[in-house]
Structure 1
Amino acid sequence: MSSSLVPTARPSATRVVAFYALLGIALGVVAVRDLAVAQGWAAGKPWYESAIEGLDGLSASAAATAVGVVIGVIGVVALIGALLPARRTHDRTEATPGLWVSRPAIATLAEHAAERTPGVYEASAAVRRRRVMVRVADSEPETAQRVEDSVKRALDGLTDRRIVVRRREVKVP
Protein backbone atom coordinates (compact mmCIF):
# COMPACT_ATOMS: atom_id res chain seq x y z
CA MET A 1 0.00 0.00 0.00
CA SER A 2 1.26 3.48 -0.81
CA SER A 3 2.16 6.08 1.78
CA SER A 4 0.50 8.91 -0.14
CA LEU A 5 -1.79 11.28 1.72
CA VAL A 6 -5.53 10.88 1.40
CA PRO A 7 -7.08 13.77 -0.60
CA THR A 8 -9.66 15.41 1.65
CA ALA A 9 -11.88 18.47 1.62
CA ARG A 10 -11.38 21.41 3.94
CA PRO A 11 -12.54 20.89 7.52
CA SER A 12 -16.14 21.95 8.08
CA ALA A 13 -15.08 24.63 10.58
CA THR A 14 -13.15 26.61 7.96
CA ARG A 15 -15.86 29.19 7.27
CA VAL A 16 -16.65 29.82 10.94
CA VAL A 17 -12.97 30.16 11.81
CA ALA A 18 -12.45 32.54 8.86
CA PHE A 19 -15.30 34.69 10.19
CA TYR A 20 -13.72 34.77 13.64
CA ALA A 21 -10.38 35.68 12.04
CA LEU A 22 -12.00 38.64 10.28
CA LEU A 23 -13.49 39.75 13.61
CA GLY A 24 -10.03 39.51 15.17
CA ILE A 25 -8.54 41.62 12.39
CA ALA A 26 -11.26 44.25 12.90
CA LEU A 27 -10.54 44.27 16.64
CA GLY A 28 -6.84 44.75 15.89
CA VAL A 29 -7.60 47.72 13.60
CA VAL A 30 -9.69 49.32 16.35
CA ALA A 31 -6.90 48.69 18.90
CA VAL A 32 -4.30 50.32 16.64
CA ARG A 33 -6.59 53.32 16.08
CA ASP A 34 -7.17 53.70 19.83
CA LEU A 35 -3.42 53.41 20.45
CA ALA A 36 -2.79 56.20 17.94
CA VAL A 37 -5.40 58.40 19.67
CA ALA A 38 -3.99 57.64 23.14
CA GLN A 39 -0.45 58.51 22.02
CA GLY A 40 -1.62 61.77 20.48
CA TRP A 41 -0.78 60.70 16.92
CA ALA A 42 -4.43 61.11 15.89
CA ALA A 43 -7.23 63.35 17.10
CA GLY A 44 -10.44 62.09 18.65
CA LYS A 45 -11.66 59.99 21.52
CA PRO A 46 -10.69 56.30 21.84
CA TRP A 47 -13.50 54.00 20.72
CA TYR A 48 -13.05 51.64 23.64
CA GLU A 49 -13.98 54.45 26.04
CA SER A 50 -17.19 55.09 24.10
CA ALA A 51 -17.98 51.38 24.13
CA ILE A 52 -17.41 51.09 27.88
CA GLU A 53 -19.55 54.18 28.56
CA GLY A 54 -22.33 52.70 26.42
CA LEU A 55 -22.23 49.43 28.35
CA ASP A 56 -22.01 51.10 31.75
CA GLY A 57 -25.12 50.55 33.82
CA LEU A 58 -26.49 47.70 31.66
CA SER A 59 -27.68 44.57 33.37
CA ALA A 60 -28.18 41.10 32.02
CA SER A 61 -31.22 40.98 29.80
CA ALA A 62 -32.87 38.26 27.78
CA ALA A 63 -31.43 39.68 24.54
CA ALA A 64 -27.87 39.80 25.91
CA THR A 65 -28.19 36.28 27.26
CA ALA A 66 -29.52 35.03 23.92
CA VAL A 67 -26.66 36.65 22.00
CA GLY A 68 -24.14 35.12 24.41
CA VAL A 69 -25.69 31.68 24.04
CA VAL A 70 -25.68 31.94 20.22
CA ILE A 71 -22.01 32.96 20.19
CA GLY A 72 -21.20 30.07 22.52
CA VAL A 73 -23.09 27.58 20.33
CA ILE A 74 -21.28 28.84 17.22
CA GLY A 75 -17.98 28.34 19.04
CA VAL A 76 -18.88 24.79 20.09
CA VAL A 77 -20.02 23.94 16.55
CA ALA A 78 -16.73 25.32 15.17
CA LEU A 79 -14.78 23.24 17.68
CA ILE A 80 -16.67 20.06 16.82
CA GLY A 81 -16.28 20.78 13.10
CA ALA A 82 -12.54 21.25 13.56
CA LEU A 83 -12.20 17.95 15.41
CA LEU A 84 -14.22 15.86 12.95
CA PRO A 85 -12.19 14.24 10.18
CA ALA A 86 -12.51 15.91 6.80
CA ARG A 87 -14.44 13.98 4.16
CA ARG A 88 -12.58 12.22 1.39
CA THR A 89 -12.78 13.79 -2.04
CA HIS A 90 -11.10 11.00 -4.02
CA ASP A 91 -11.00 7.21 -4.06
CA ARG A 92 -7.85 5.08 -4.06
CA THR A 93 -7.52 3.00 -7.21
CA GLU A 94 -6.90 -0.72 -7.12
CA ALA A 95 -4.85 -0.76 -10.33
CA THR A 96 -2.12 1.74 -9.45
CA PRO A 97 -0.93 2.25 -5.87
CA GLY A 98 -0.80 5.93 -4.93
CA LEU A 99 -3.24 6.96 -7.64
CA TRP A 100 -6.43 8.68 -6.53
CA VAL A 101 -9.45 9.39 -8.73
CA SER A 102 -12.25 11.84 -7.98
CA ARG A 103 -15.89 10.82 -7.91
CA PRO A 104 -16.84 13.21 -10.75
CA ALA A 105 -14.09 11.61 -12.85
CA ILE A 106 -15.54 8.15 -12.17
CA ALA A 107 -18.98 9.41 -13.17
CA THR A 108 -17.61 10.95 -16.37
CA LEU A 109 -15.83 7.73 -17.34
CA ALA A 110 -18.97 5.70 -16.67
CA GLU A 111 -21.11 8.14 -18.67
CA HIS A 112 -18.76 8.08 -21.68
CA ALA A 113 -18.56 4.28 -21.59
CA ALA A 114 -22.37 4.07 -21.52
CA GLU A 115 -22.75 6.60 -24.36
CA ARG A 116 -20.38 4.57 -26.58
CA THR A 117 -22.41 1.40 -26.09
CA PRO A 118 -24.43 0.48 -29.20
CA GLY A 119 -28.14 1.14 -28.79
CA VAL A 120 -27.79 3.92 -26.20
CA TYR A 121 -29.27 7.28 -27.20
CA GLU A 122 -28.51 9.18 -24.02
CA ALA A 123 -26.64 8.43 -20.80
CA SER A 124 -25.80 10.03 -17.48
CA ALA A 125 -23.95 8.76 -14.43
CA ALA A 126 -23.58 9.67 -10.78
CA VAL A 127 -21.41 8.20 -8.06
CA ARG A 128 -23.19 7.35 -4.84
CA ARG A 129 -21.74 6.07 -1.60
CA ARG A 130 -21.42 2.41 -2.66
CA ARG A 131 -22.46 2.35 -6.29
CA VAL A 132 -22.21 4.02 -9.66
CA MET A 133 -25.67 4.88 -10.97
CA VAL A 134 -25.88 4.93 -14.77
CA ARG A 135 -29.10 6.11 -16.43
CA VAL A 136 -29.56 5.30 -20.09
CA ALA A 137 -32.19 5.90 -22.74
CA ASP A 138 -32.34 2.96 -25.15
CA SER A 139 -34.73 1.00 -27.30
CA GLU A 140 -33.83 -2.61 -26.40
CA PRO A 141 -34.03 -4.31 -22.99
CA GLU A 142 -30.72 -6.16 -23.51
CA THR A 143 -28.87 -2.87 -23.86
CA ALA A 144 -28.74 -2.54 -20.06
CA GLN A 145 -26.48 -5.60 -19.75
CA ARG A 146 -24.19 -4.30 -22.52
CA VAL A 147 -23.98 -0.93 -20.76
CA GLU A 148 -23.12 -2.59 -17.46
CA ASP A 149 -20.37 -4.66 -19.11
CA SER A 150 -18.99 -1.60 -20.90
CA VAL A 151 -18.94 0.51 -17.73
CA LYS A 152 -17.30 -2.33 -15.76
CA ARG A 153 -14.54 -2.53 -18.37
CA ALA A 154 -14.04 1.25 -18.30
CA LEU A 155 -13.85 1.40 -14.50
CA ASP A 156 -11.83 -1.79 -14.03
CA GLY A 157 -9.21 -1.13 -11.35
CA LEU A 158 -10.46 2.41 -10.64
CA THR A 159 -13.29 1.64 -8.26
CA ASP A 160 -14.88 -1.33 -6.55
CA ARG A 161 -18.33 0.24 -6.40
CA ARG A 162 -21.29 -1.74 -7.69
CA ILE A 163 -22.59 -0.58 -11.08
CA VAL A 164 -26.35 -0.11 -11.32
CA VAL A 165 -27.97 0.62 -14.69
CA ARG A 166 -31.39 2.24 -14.86
CA ARG A 167 -32.93 2.30 -18.29
CA ARG A 168 -35.64 4.32 -19.88
CA GLU A 169 -37.08 2.92 -23.05
CA VAL A 170 -37.21 5.19 -26.08
CA LYS A 171 -39.55 4.47 -28.96
CA VAL A 172 -37.72 4.43 -32.27
CA PRO A 173 -39.87 5.50 -35.23
Structure 2
Amino acid sequence: MHQSINTPSIKTLSAGTQALVGHQMPEIQQEIATQLGVEAPEEHRAQQLALQHVESADLILGMERQHRSEAVKLSPRALRRTFTLRELARIAELVPDEDIAFSEAANLVENMKALVEAAAVNRGLAVSFEDPEDDDVVDPYRRSKQTYKESRDQVVSALGGIVTYLNRAAV
Protein backbone atom coordinates (compact mmCIF):
# COMPACT_ATOMS: atom_id res chain seq x y z
CA MET A 1 0.00 0.00 0.00
CA HIS A 2 1.36 3.39 -0.99
CA GLN A 3 0.61 6.27 1.32
CA SER A 4 0.84 9.82 0.04
CA ILE A 5 1.97 12.52 2.43
CA ASN A 6 0.85 16.05 1.69
CA THR A 7 3.97 18.08 2.39
CA PRO A 8 3.53 21.83 2.08
CA SER A 9 5.92 23.57 -0.24
CA ILE A 10 7.35 27.04 -0.34
CA LYS A 11 7.63 28.66 -3.74
CA THR A 12 9.34 31.88 -4.66
CA LEU A 13 8.76 34.15 -7.61
CA SER A 14 10.55 37.23 -8.84
CA ALA A 15 8.69 39.94 -10.73
CA GLY A 16 9.35 43.61 -11.36
CA THR A 17 7.23 46.72 -11.48
CA GLN A 18 9.09 48.00 -14.54
CA ALA A 19 10.46 44.71 -15.82
CA LEU A 20 12.28 44.34 -19.09
CA VAL A 21 10.15 41.27 -19.73
CA GLY A 22 12.10 38.29 -20.99
CA HIS A 23 15.53 39.82 -20.43
CA GLN A 24 18.31 38.26 -18.39
CA MET A 25 19.77 40.06 -15.41
CA PRO A 26 22.88 42.09 -16.24
CA GLU A 27 26.13 40.11 -16.42
CA ILE A 28 27.55 41.71 -13.27
CA GLN A 29 24.41 40.73 -11.38
CA GLN A 30 24.74 37.16 -12.69
CA GLU A 31 28.33 37.09 -11.40
CA ILE A 32 27.21 38.28 -7.96
CA ALA A 33 24.38 35.73 -7.90
CA THR A 34 26.82 32.95 -8.78
CA GLN A 35 29.20 34.08 -6.01
CA LEU A 36 26.25 33.89 -3.59
CA GLY A 37 25.48 30.31 -4.62
CA VAL A 38 22.52 30.93 -6.93
CA GLU A 39 22.33 28.14 -9.46
CA ALA A 40 22.00 29.07 -13.13
CA PRO A 41 21.29 32.81 -12.75
CA GLU A 42 21.61 33.14 -16.52
CA GLU A 43 18.29 31.28 -16.81
CA HIS A 44 16.41 33.95 -14.86
CA ARG A 45 14.12 36.04 -17.04
CA ALA A 46 12.41 39.25 -16.00
CA GLN A 47 8.64 39.27 -15.72
CA GLN A 48 6.15 42.00 -14.89
CA LEU A 49 4.38 41.94 -11.53
CA ALA A 50 0.73 41.03 -12.11
CA LEU A 51 -2.44 40.81 -10.05
CA GLN A 52 -2.31 37.01 -9.85
CA HIS A 53 1.21 37.17 -8.38
CA VAL A 54 0.08 39.51 -5.62
CA GLU A 55 -3.15 37.69 -4.83
CA SER A 56 -1.52 34.26 -4.64
CA ALA A 57 1.42 35.35 -2.46
CA ASP A 58 1.59 34.83 1.29
CA LEU A 59 4.50 37.28 1.54
CA ILE A 60 5.50 40.02 -0.90
CA LEU A 61 8.91 41.65 -0.59
CA GLY A 62 9.80 44.70 -2.64
CA MET A 63 13.26 46.12 -2.99
CA GLU A 64 11.89 49.66 -2.70
CA ARG A 65 8.89 51.37 -1.12
CA GLN A 66 7.62 52.08 -4.63
CA HIS A 67 7.57 48.32 -5.37
CA ARG A 68 5.59 47.71 -2.18
CA SER A 69 3.13 50.44 -3.24
CA GLU A 70 2.71 48.97 -6.72
CA ALA A 71 1.86 45.54 -5.27
CA VAL A 72 -0.71 47.06 -2.93
CA LYS A 73 -2.22 49.11 -5.77
CA LEU A 74 -2.78 45.86 -7.67
CA SER A 75 -4.50 44.31 -4.65
CA PRO A 76 -5.14 46.49 -1.58
CA ARG A 77 -5.89 43.35 0.46
CA ALA A 78 -2.18 42.51 0.16
CA LEU A 79 -1.11 45.39 2.42
CA ARG A 80 -0.63 43.27 5.57
CA ARG A 81 1.67 40.83 3.76
CA THR A 82 3.64 43.34 1.70
CA PHE A 83 6.92 44.85 2.93
CA THR A 84 10.17 46.11 1.59
CA LEU A 85 12.99 43.66 2.18
CA ARG A 86 14.80 45.96 4.59
CA GLU A 87 11.56 46.92 6.34
CA LEU A 88 10.70 43.30 7.12
CA ALA A 89 14.25 42.66 8.36
CA ARG A 90 13.93 45.65 10.70
CA ILE A 91 10.52 44.57 11.99
CA ALA A 92 11.54 40.91 12.37
CA GLU A 93 14.13 41.87 14.97
CA LEU A 94 11.37 43.22 17.22
CA VAL A 95 8.58 40.63 17.01
CA PRO A 96 8.13 39.03 20.44
CA ASP A 97 7.27 35.34 20.73
CA GLU A 98 3.90 36.17 22.30
CA ASP A 99 2.82 37.96 19.10
CA ILE A 100 3.29 34.80 17.03
CA ALA A 101 0.21 32.59 17.00
CA PHE A 102 1.44 29.15 15.98
CA SER A 103 -1.16 26.41 16.01
CA GLU A 104 -0.12 23.01 17.35
CA ALA A 105 -1.61 21.35 14.27
CA ALA A 106 -0.09 23.86 11.84
CA ASN A 107 2.47 22.98 9.22
CA LEU A 108 5.51 24.99 8.18
CA VAL A 109 3.62 27.11 5.64
CA GLU A 110 0.87 27.97 8.14
CA ASN A 111 3.50 28.88 10.71
CA MET A 112 5.22 31.15 8.18
CA LYS A 113 1.87 32.87 7.52
CA ALA A 114 1.61 33.44 11.28
CA LEU A 115 5.04 35.08 11.20
CA VAL A 116 3.98 37.37 8.35
CA GLU A 117 0.87 38.34 10.33
CA ALA A 118 2.99 39.00 13.45
CA ALA A 119 5.26 41.25 11.40
CA ALA A 120 2.21 43.15 10.11
CA VAL A 121 0.94 43.62 13.66
CA ASN A 122 4.34 44.97 14.71
CA ARG A 123 4.90 47.18 11.65
CA GLY A 124 3.80 50.34 13.46
CA LEU A 125 5.94 49.58 16.50
CA ALA A 126 9.20 49.29 14.59
CA VAL A 127 11.16 52.50 14.70
CA SER A 128 11.43 53.90 11.21
CA PHE A 129 14.66 55.07 9.74
CA GLU A 130 15.26 58.79 9.90
CA ASP A 131 15.27 58.74 6.11
CA PRO A 132 12.44 56.59 4.65
CA GLU A 133 14.69 55.73 1.69
CA ASP A 134 16.72 53.60 4.11
CA ASP A 135 13.98 50.98 3.75
CA ASP A 136 14.91 50.74 0.06
CA VAL A 137 17.63 48.63 -1.50
CA VAL A 138 19.70 50.78 -3.84
CA ASP A 139 18.84 50.04 -7.48
CA PRO A 140 22.12 49.20 -9.23
CA TYR A 141 20.74 48.88 -12.77
CA ARG A 142 23.08 50.57 -15.27
CA ARG A 143 25.25 51.89 -12.45
CA SER A 144 28.77 51.17 -11.24
CA LYS A 145 30.13 47.84 -10.06
CA GLN A 146 30.41 49.40 -6.60
CA THR A 147 26.67 50.18 -6.64
CA TYR A 148 25.95 46.53 -7.50
CA LYS A 149 28.07 45.50 -4.51
CA GLU A 150 26.27 47.99 -2.25
CA SER A 151 22.93 46.59 -3.40
CA ARG A 152 24.18 43.03 -2.83
CA ASP A 153 25.32 43.88 0.69
CA GLN A 154 21.95 45.44 1.55
CA VAL A 155 20.08 42.40 0.24
CA VAL A 156 22.32 39.86 1.97
CA SER A 157 22.15 41.71 5.27
CA ALA A 158 18.35 42.00 5.17
CA LEU A 159 17.87 38.40 4.06
CA GLY A 160 19.97 37.16 6.96
CA GLY A 161 17.52 38.69 9.42
CA ILE A 162 14.47 37.55 7.47
CA VAL A 163 15.71 33.96 7.19
CA THR A 164 16.41 33.91 10.92
CA TYR A 165 12.88 35.21 11.53
CA LEU A 166 11.17 32.76 9.16
CA ASN A 167 13.14 29.88 10.66
CA ARG A 168 11.07 30.44 13.79
CA ALA A 169 8.28 28.71 11.84
CA ALA A 170 10.18 25.41 12.01
CA VAL A 171 9.15 24.69 15.61
Point out the structure with the larger helix share: 2
What TM-score do you get using the length of structure 1 for normalisation? Answer: 0.20
What TM-score do the two structures reach when normalised by structure 2? 0.20
Compare CA radii of gyration and give the structure with the larger one. 1
